Amino acid sequence: MRRRCIPWLFALASALAASLSGCPENPPAAVVHGQNKLTLLHTADIHSRLFPYNLQIGHIDAQLGLGATDSITNVGGAARISHILGRERARAARSLHVDGGDCFQGAPVFNFFDGEAEIRSLVAMGTDAMVVANHEFDKGALNLGIQLQRNASYPVLAANYSFEDPSQPGASPLGSIVVPFETFDVDGLRVTVIGMGNLSSITSIFDQPNRLGIQPLKTSEVAQFYIDLVRPFTDVIVVATHLGLEYDERMIEATTGIDVVLGGHNHIVLQPPKRVADCAAIDQNGNHYIETAAPGGQDPDEPSVMQRRYCTPREVVLAHSGAFAKFAGRLDLVLSNHAEDLDDPAAYDPLNRFEVASYDYRLFPINDSVPEDPIVTSLLEPYAFGLDALANLDLLVGFAPDGSRRFSTSGGDSPLGNLIATAMWLRLGIQTDFSLTNTTGIRADLVPGAVDVEQMYNIFPFDNSITKMQLSGKEVQELFNFVARRSSGRGCKSQAQIAGARVVIDCTAQPDPNVAPGIATHVYIGTTPQPCASDLDCPGAELGSCDSSIGRCWLPIDTIASYELATSNYLAAGGSGFRVLQRNTTQLDTKVQQRDALMDFIRAGSPCGADPATDEAFPCSTDADCAGVGIAGETYVCACAERAWEQEGALCGFDPVVACASSGGSPELGEGACVLQTCVDAVANYERAVCARSPTEDSRQACLASLRPCAAGGETCKFLACIDGSLGNNADGRLRMLGQ
């Protein structure tokens, strides 16, 4: 049994004294002694993946048990997560479920319901506490406050945010909702969970005042303050963060007294968890210490001074449990307040109450082998019906024979990044000199097969529009230098995707010792008429100067020339640190959403195996007419409704005896056209999945009889755009990374 309780905090500031009246004068004695077990269940970065979705499994996810490498597996879903959490609670003596934040933003349910479904799902899962993270603010602080007030039944945590006064007109109610920590009595074991919200991604909060009404607080200082505050009155301290791995480690090293950190934000899994030593600073005598803030004097405006506190290093368990509802983590702790149970009995400090004697971590993949919790399934049904009414998410956009990855194996430009940047660059009415978007804004890979509107929302969940602006050549250089520095600090993986330009990024160059390493060289925008086969054929023979795909040389930027950029309104406003764009005064928001630009660009493409002269499918009467269509290894069939042979769960067949009607020109509906067999099968399976959602077996069969999935697949693939290299769905080296 677990109960929320208010710790005995007689050391609290006077502003909190009233809310803690009636607390006992002395710290309580421990209720339990010796070895005790505690199970911490952890999720983070669910990103609105409340409904299951298809995912092409990468190498890392495969190693973690999500599915076979390169297979397309149905993963995620709040009902499946809830089943795992309920099962593990039943198997644990003491347990708490902590969510690390970013439950908002990432799927259409958030775009249309503003986070209501996410909060209610966490409540239905039995969540004990949640951290406020950066994407919780995607529709504003007021929206977050309203959703939490209406729907949350668990404490919401963020110790490193100071909120505006909620009583002021127009202010969000977050100041009266979000608390820095919560203490739980878990069958006699007092567990305090301290929350740490994200600072690195919400750069706008460092501008004072800001539209979120938040003042950021220094992480290590505020963490140590609350550790010292609660440590005499609690047995175990867990810090739940959305800081990211690097900042988690920094916080641990700069503090003392934390037992466990449950982290998020980087979308990674730590399997096994890391063990990070706290109290890491060492003075000239070899003594370990931390720095804490001391009052600066009588003047409240006088800054605090730092003072050293000497301490003994302890190992802190640090766990991350992945993202996008793909995994849930279980951390089993054996805790003890008896020195002899610990690895180093002499180092035990009774002030720390219970220490981690040992631990075990298990990661649970959330895939189609996991049953669904019927309570959560029932809760989400109205939202599913609402999405069907509000947005035609089942509308097909294209067919991706091989899918498209959002990250590059080389660290530079990625196939999906190039496709998106090109869609922005060439959008009618935009058509700028070059385009740029942030790599991390692309939230999912393009899964091979039939691509629908819902998948477009998964790739681009943000309602960001395209902004145009004029930049000088000097500003272009400054822009790419910032991209280089940002990329250098992230493993030399490009943090931008571009079109209309070519850049070489040197991650190790550091011309200014006061600035982080990373510089952009060989920046080109636009091409010259000069033909080339290699860089040697271009003036100066500079690296990256020849575009072999079009056989022309690129034009180096001129520092005094003017260039028009298309980017997202998020980056234009300085998001992700793009200050060089934020201060530009020529900005024009086109109101064209990046997602819409991508969908329209794909829809304008040709079907797989189209005639290059007409960009339409080849007409045919029989399969023999399709010989030689497409590339080697692909199978094309002559499709028309009369030939379609329904084979549920298998490849669609086409009657070899029946011939399709053919006009000899561009095929129309009902006439024969050469289509890719894998496209027909993918669309047919997609239509079968639509019918499978029918409530009864009779209605499912009626749906299948009406749709005739194989016939529908053949007709659809005559016109459905092929998302392949012809659309720019490939990596071509436009962003070259040096120094990896």
| pTM of the model as a whole | 0.90
5-12, long-range: CB < 8 A, 24+ apart: 5/183, 5/184, 5/185, 5/190, 6/183, 7/183, 7/190, 7/192, 7/230, 7/233, 7/234, 8/233, 9/229, 9/230, 9/233, 11/229, 12/229
CB atoms within 10 A of CB 407: 17
**CA–CA distance, 24 with 7 (Å, rounded to integer):** 10
> What's the mean pLDDT in 439-468?
96
Task: Give the CA distances from residue 47 to residues 157, 284, 550, in Å, rounded to whole numbers and listed in that order.
Answer: 18, 46, 40
pLDDT level of residue 9 (50, 70, 90 thresholds): very low
**CA–CA distance, 191 with 183 (Å, rounded to integer):** 5
| pLDDT tens-digit map of 283-313 | 999 999 999 887 654 555 566 678 999 999 9
In this predicted structure, which of 214-218, 485-489, 692-696 has the lowest mean pLDDT?
Answer: 692-696
Report the candidate in 389, 246, 270 with the shortest Cα–Cα distance to residue 327. Answer: 270
Full DSSP string of 242-257? -S-HHHHHHHHHT-S-
Asked if 143 contacts 114 with a C-beta cutoff of 8 angstroms, the reply is yes
pLDDT computed for residue 17 by the predictor: 38
Whether the predicted pLDDT of 6 surpasses 60: no
Residue 478, helix vs strand vs coil: helix
- Tokens 């501008």 sit on residue: 207
pLDDT computed for residue 306 by the predictor: 83
**Where do the structural domains in the chain lie, given as residue ranges?**
2-11+34-278+313-378, 392-605+727-738, 623-720
Is there a common fold for 2-11+34-278+313-378 and 392-605+727-738? no
**CA–CA distance, 175 with 639 (Å, rounded to integer):** 62
* DSSP letter, residue 599: H
**CA–CA distance, 201 with 577 (Å, rounded to integer):** 8
Full DSSP string of 688-715? HHHHHTSSSHHHHHHHHHHH-HHHHHHH
* Structure tokens, 226: 């609350």
Residue 734, helix vs strand vs coil: coil
Task: Give the CA distances from residue 625 to residues 629, 639, 713, in Å, rounded to whole numbers and listed in that order.
Answer: 9, 11, 19
Asked if 418 contacts 732 with a C-beta cutoff of 8 angstroms, the reply is yes
Beta bridge partners of 332: 39, 360
In this predicted structure, which of 9-18, 233-242, 429-438 has the lowest mean pLDDT?
Answer: 9-18
In this predicted structure, which of 264-273, 299-308, 358-367, 700-709 has the lowest mean pLDDT?
Answer: 299-308
pLDDT level of residue 503 (50, 70, 90 thresholds): very high
In this predicted structure, which of 43-47, 161-165, 547-551 has the lowest mean pLDDT?
Answer: 547-551
Report the candidate in 37, 40, 44 with the shortest Cα–Cα distance to residue 130. Answer: 44
Question: Which burial class, exposed, middle or buried, applies to 650 when counting CB atoms under 10 A from its CB (0-12, 13-18, 19+)?
Answer: exposed
Full DSSP string of 418-463? HHHHHHHHT-TTT--SEEEEEGGG--S-B-SEEEEHHHHHHH--S-
pLDDT computed for residue 357 by the predictor: 96
pLDDT computed for residue 693 by the predictor: 85
Asked if 681 contacts 661 with a C-beta cutoff of 8 angstroms, the reply is no
pLDDT computed for residue 155 by the predictor: 98
Report the candidate in 38, 218, 46, 32 with the shortest Cα–Cα distance to residue 121. Answer: 46
**CA–CA distance, 283 with 619 (Å, rounded to integer):** 80
Beta strands per DSSP E along 545-699: 546-547, 552-556, 562-568, 588-593, 636-639, 644-645, 653-654, 673-676
CA angle 73, 79, 81 (to 5 degrees): 75
| pLDDT tens-digit map of 404-446 | 999 998 999 999 999 999 999 999 999 999 999 999 999 999 9
pLDDT computed for residue 303 by the predictor: 62
Question: Which burial class, exposed, middle or buried, applies to 192 when counting CB atoms under 10 A from its CB (0-12, 13-18, 19+)?
Answer: buried
**CA–CA distance, 62 with 271 (Å, rounded to integer):** 13
pLDDT level of residue 488 (50, 70, 90 thresholds): very high
State the pairing for strand pair 396-400/449-452.
antiparallel
Report the candidate in 488, 530, 531, 489 with the shortest Cα–Cα distance to residue 506. Answer: 488
Instruction: Check whether the bond before 169 is cis (ω within 30° of 0).
Output: no
CA angle 485, 266, 172 (to 5 degrees): 100
Whether the predicted pLDDT of 191 surpasses 50: yes
**CA–CA distance, 495 with 46 (Å, rounded to integer):** 22
Residue 565, helix vs strand vs coil: strand
Architecture of the structural domain at 392-605+727-738: Alpha-Beta Complex (3.90)
CB atoms within 10 A of CB 51: 20
**CA–CA distance, 219 with 584 (Å, rounded to integer):** 32
Cα 446 vs. chain centroid, distance in angstroms? 14
Residues 727-739 as b or e (16 or more Cβ within 10 Å = b):
bbbbbbbbbbbbe
Beta bridge partners of 215: 162
- Tokens 């530009």 sit on residue: 584
Asked if 130 contacts 103 with a C-beta cutoff of 8 angstroms, the reply is yes
> What's the mean pLDDT in 541-546?
90
pLDDT computed for residue 716 by the predictor: 96
pLDDT level of residue 207 (50, 70, 90 thresholds): confident
CB atoms within 10 A of CB 586: 11
**Any residues with CB less than 8 A from the CB of 182 and at least 6 apart, and which?**
4, 129, 155, 157, 192, 193
Average of per-residue pLDDT values in the chain = 92
CATH of domain 2-11+34-278+313-378: 3.60.21.10
In this predicted structure, which of 88-97, 416-425, 659-668 has the lowest mean pLDDT?
Answer: 659-668
Q: How many residues does the chain have?
A: 740
pLDDT computed for residue 40 by the predictor: 98
User: Which has the higher per-residue pLDDT, 388 or 412?
Assistant: 412
